[in-house]
Amino acid sequence: MPQHTKTALSVNLNKVALVRNTRHLGIPSITRAATLCLEAGAAGITVHPRPDERHIRAGDVHDLAALLKAWPDREFNIEGNPFHNLMDFVRQVRPHQVTFVPDSEGQFTSDHGWTFPQDAERLKPLIAEAKALGARVSLFMDPIPEAMAAAKAVGADRVELYTETYASAYGMPKQAEVLAAFKATAEAALKAGLGINAGHDLNRDNLHTFLTTVPGVQEVSIGHALIADALELGYTETVRAYNACMSQV
Ligand SMILES: CC(=O)[C@@H](O)[C@H](O)COP(=O)(O)O
Ligand SMILES: NCC(=O)COP(=O)(O)O
């Protein structure tokens, strides 16, 4: 049986901002979305302010940081590339957690994790700085067990397992093989002393199997599918539905 950990749901609001940015009217509101998700039981809010500001803008990061101060038991997670714009946000708003993601500028969406040993030396000082500023540091990683000790060695607190390969294999013949790689990676992460997050293309269908197979997942950040569900069900019912999926683990 996998090690049982209550998993926290961090709602990624990128896609709310994407819709908002197609007009100059300020709707849908990011802070209203965050408030409704937190009221419904989300454990935190995630954003990925990309350098091109296609969805989350700098002002959203500051507005959400201010909002979350009224929710001391919830967390703000900012994702991004620390060699682009992420560190300025860390210095300015001091989030609870930062997730370092090796995306290029203008990348369509995140599609791979950090590579060791190649990225190790340049990551170390930025991880140390983010931690000194009070943030937990998570590294976005592919499901490669051998990389977990290296992630620990550069100073990371957690890894975020990049779950797209699982999501696209879900319900397909290769699901078991792909899940086995995530399970082995999580076991290696736990052995190395790392915490475990997971995210990308998780949804209400694939979440339960992932969490009952992969041990120790402390947080999932979910955006695209969750916001799509919220268009049909509303934020409140949607967050409750995701939390219900996770409480059955
Ligand atoms: C880091 C990660 O896992 C991504 O899922 C990311 O947050 C999504 O970014 P987009 O919403 O821009 O596709
Ligand atoms: N870190 C993953 C995340 O925040 C959301 O990814 P997705 O659910 O939008 O694919």
Cα of 126 from ligand 2 centre, angstroms: 23
The atom number, within ligand 2, closest to the CA of 10 reads 4
Residue-level pLDDT at 6: 87
Residue ranges of the chain with pLDDT lower than 70? 1-5
Pocket of ligand 1 (CB under 6 A): 12, 14, 48, 50, 79, 101, 109-110, 140, 199-200, 223
pTM for this one? 0.96
Domains of the chain: 8-247 (3.20.20.70)
Residue-level pLDDT at 247: 85
Residue-level pLDDT at 2: 43
SS3 for the chain is CCCCCCCEEEEECHHHHHHHCCCCCCCCCHHHHHHHHHHCCCCEEEECCCCCCCCCCHHHHHHHHHHHCCCCCCEEEEEECCCCCHHHHHHHHCCCEEEECCCCCCCCCCCCCCCCCCCHHHHHHHHHHHHHCCCEEEEEECCCCCHHHHHHHCCCCEEEEECHHHHHHCCCCCHHHHHHHHHHHHHHHHHHCCEEEEECCCCCCCHHHHHHHCCCEEEEEECHHHHHHHHHHCHHHHHHHHHHHHHCC
> Is 4 annotated in the active site?
no
Residue-level pLDDT at 120: 98
ipTM of the prediction: 0.97
> Is 129 annotated in the active site?
no
